[in-house]
Amino acid sequence: MIEHSIPAASAQRFIRAAFESQGFDAGAADKVAALMVEADLQGSDGHGIIRLPQYIKRIRAGGINKDPHIRVVREQAATALVDGDNGMGHLVVSFATELAIGKARQSGMAWVNTRMSNHAGPASLYVRRVVAEGLICLYFAVGNANHLAPWGGTELMLSTNPIAVGLPTRDEPPVILDMATTMAAYGKVKAKAKRGEMMPPGWMIDRQGQPLLDPARSAEGLLLPIGGYKGYGLALVVGLLAGTLGGAAMGRQVVDFNADHTSLTNTGQAVAVIDPAAFGDAEEFRKSADTVVRDIRSSERMSGVDRIWLPGEQSFEKHARYTAGGFPLSQGLLDELNALAQELDIEPLIQMASA
Amino acid sequence: MIEHSIPAASAQRFIRAAFESQGFDAGAADKVAALMVEADLQGSDGHGIIRLPQYIKRIRAGGINKDPHIRVVREQAATALVDGDNGMGHLVVSFATELAIGKARQSGMAWVNTRMSNHAGPASLYVRRVVAEGLICLYFAVGNANHLAPWGGTELMLSTNPIAVGLPTRDEPPVILDMATTMAAYGKVKAKAKRGEMMPPGWMIDRQGQPLLDPARSAEGLLLPIGGYKGYGLALVVGLLAGTLGGAAMGRQVVDFNADHTSLTNTGQAVAVIDPAAFGDAEEFRKSADTVVRDIRSSERMSGVDRIWLPGEQSFEKHARYTAGGFPLSQGLLDELNALAQELDIEPLIQMASA
């Protein structure tokens, strides 16, 4: 399959132009574009520019507030509830993240929930932002479509509700775990479908419990939770923490944003920030984290294994490589984005990329 | 296999007497005993009275401080670091939990780490305590022996580092998830060994990657993480949050308390408490949680499945049943406990049980 290398700056200009064509102001359009490109740069190819056509479809259908009044509706020393006013999730979660950072610096830690938010791309975008400040981040979100059944069930009651945790280090890349509570995130299923590839066994089953390998048939299937009933339990508690706690959608209330482009999603996310300085010398903590990372990386390997990776390390390396040389994009997705460009009357991505 | 039903009060008296025989004051002995019995009552049979011989062995070897000065060493509005002074983990984590409850009521949420703590039994004991106050709890701990290799590795660098989350409901049983980040907790492996049963495939592999089914050979094997590299990532970040952050042991520093009864374990736990009232009407939250629970319980089942369970629901039912009729104990464990009684010159459990 032909892959293109897209420079970050070209992609950001393209996405910004797409949002501006829909009436977003330049600042908001640029902020969303920068975060979407960051997703592609870190290798989260299911959550970056691939989502643009769907976002634009929802905006054109009136399903997103282009000029939201994002605000704090409740607040204590260590907590806040942010109402996103149905704005783009990237803007809402960025607001919540900055708020949590400020509160954690005051109180040692903070926990901020969002409601009336939307899909915000990969959790690790926001976790990395927090970790860059030398702080620890935990992130929980309700996914934007239910693809998971309770353990023993066949009804799609839960989403892939991700958990992300990031911790700063001193000389090593930060530890950034960002995982769906299912064996595969639905974004990865979509990316497989876009690339015309089959899924490995263990990602999905059909309603009779048989393996489902064709991502084009994913609507007929159930994603499998990690660790069986354990992953079901994680998806449930993440949904209660990120959704129900803040008055956002969870369970049967979740709107399938792949199929429905107009209903309010009332998406919820939870961002928790911990200041290591509240527990001791922050520099010592970072050194200790470095030691753990190095001990694990240099530990004995199974035969045939070249390297032991730490969570986030592969993304960290991709980010450096893609920032320098562009991120990969399939011909199929490029065609789709350029067709969108024509529809929106903006410059196509390929021209910007080759400029 | 012959199983006995042990009344909670008998077990608590027996455990209290065992600790008092070692010089614990009555209050501390009773508190540890009550929590250990609670573990058995909720069905956590790998974490209750089964641990008594090992605890006593460590106490007699001088590996536990019988009269610890458990104290707060650092504090902010929403955080604290508790030094357990090498006391029994049950006492240290109870102290941390009460502190976190108080702080969460003031600041909306709180996060308390322990260091110089010890094995404290199942996470859900403390989570249930928090949930009984109408509050939400997240709990993370570093396990007391490394049984898990990094993904692709063969060296035991990580423990089963558990995650527990509890949320209050209104009329339904609370949602209480308590899970090792491995397919099976090591306590379950030990319980299988005690009962002379084989493990199911998927719990452990040997260092060549082959399934290991005999729990008596568990020292040769590696526990498998949930979701492959995902569970490895979870075990790692839980260890960094519960251990490294508070200056407690993690990775290579972890002391195998099954083999070493004298070295300081410097165990770390993290207890986070969230007050739902900081995010909205607490009663409304509990009602919404009830709705999620009922929607999931009544959702469509796979053929052959009688019931969909919520996390914690089976423990909740066991707790009611075992409180009324006693908890089950194998003949093998009873013999071991009665041999211990003779050694400690206290009344045997069986006499108390049949009294």
Within 8 A of A183 by CB-CB distance, chain B residues are 227
What is the fold, at CATH topology level, of the domain defined by B1-60+316-355? Answer: Hypothetical Oxidoreductase Yiak; Chain: A, domain 1 (1.10.1530)
Q: What is the DSSP letter of A224?
A: P
Residue A350 has pLDDT above 80, yes or no: no
d(Cα B300, Cα A206) in Å, to the nearest integer?
14
Q: Do B302 and A209 touch (CB under 8 A)?
A: yes
Say what the pTM is.
0.96
pLDDT tens per residue across span A79-131? 999 999 999 999 999 999 999 999 999 999 999 999 999 999 999 999 999 99
Contacts of A81 in chain B (CB under 8 A): 278-280
Residues A278, B76: C-beta atoms closer than 8 Å: yes
Which residues sit opposite B175 in a β-bridge?
B167
Instruction: Using CA coordinates, name the residue in chain A closest to B240.
Output: A289
Can you give the pLDDT at residue B142?
Answer: 97
State residue B3's pLDDT score: 84
Judge whether residue B254 has pLDDT over 60.
yes
Q: What is the pLDDT of residue B1?
A: 57
Say how far apart CA A151 and CA B286 lie, in whole Å: 23
Nearest to B308 among A152, A227, A274 (CB): A152
Q: Do A280 and B78 touch (CB under 8 A)?
A: no
Locate the chain B residue with the closest alpha carbon to A158.
B296
Q: What is the mean pLDDT of chain B?
A: 95
**Best residue in A299, A309, A310, A313 for a mutation probing chain B (most B CBs within 10 Å):** A299
B285-329 tens-digit pLDDT: 999 999 999 999 999 999 889 999 999 999 999 999 999 999 999
CA angle A128, B74, A175 (to 5 degrees): 20
Q: Are B223 and B240 in contact (CB under 8 A)?
A: no
User: CB distance A179–B302 less than 8 Å?
Assistant: no
Provide the 8-state DSSP code for B134: T
Q: Do B244 and A289 touch (CB under 8 A)?
A: yes
**pLDDT for the residue B2:** 65
CA distance A43 to chain B (A): 17
Q: Do B108 and A302 touch (CB under 8 A)?
A: no
- B156's enclosing H/E stretch is none
**Smallest Cα distance from A337 to chain B, Å:** 32
Determine the residue type at A289: A
Kindly report, residue by residue over B204-234, the tens digit of the pLDDT. 999 888 899 999 999 888 999 999 999 999 9
Query: Per-residue pLDDT for B355 more than 50?
Result: no
A106, A275 in Cβ contact below 8 A? Answer: no
Reported as a single tens digit per residue, the pLDDT across A237-280 is: 999 999 999 999 999 999 998 889 999 999 999 999 999 999 99
The interface predicted TM-score of the complex, written ipTM, equals: 0.95
pLDDT confidence of residue A191:
78
Alpha carbons A302 and B149: distance in angstroms, whole number: 10
Q: Token pair of B91, please?
A: 């006492």
pLDDT at B76: 98
Asked if B106 and A275 come within 8 Å (Cβ–Cβ), the reply is: no
CATH 1.10.540.10 is held by the domain A1-60+315-355? no
Give the mean pLDDT of B331-350: 94
Average pLDDT over residues B187-192: 82
Do A274 and A127 contact (CB within 8 A), yes or no?
A: no
**Which pair of tokens denotes residue B134?**
């109408």
- How far B21 CA lies from chain A's nearest CA (Å)? 36
- Chain A residue numbers touching B289 (CB-CB < 8 A): 240, 244
Domain boundary assignment for chain B = 1-60+316-355, 65-182+225-298
B10-35 pLDDT, tens digit per residue, is 999 999 999 999 999 999 999 999 99
Task: Give domain B65-182+225-298's CATH architecture.
Answer: 2-Layer Sandwich (3.30)
Phi/psi at B290 (5° precision): -55, -45
Question: From the list A78, A153, A251, which residue is nearest B292 (CB)?
Answer: A251
pLDDT for position A251: 96
Assign domain A68-182+225-298 one CATH number from 3.10.129.10, 3.40.50.300, 3.20.20.140, 3.30.1370.60: 3.30.1370.60
Give the count of beta carbons closer than 10 Å to the beta carbon of residue B207: 17
Written as one string, the DSSP assignment of A226-282 is TTTHHHHHHHHHHHHHHTGGGT---GGG---TTT-SSS---B-EEEEEE-GGGTS-H
The predicted pLDDT at position B184 comes to 86
Portion of chain A with pLDDT greater than 90, in percent: 88
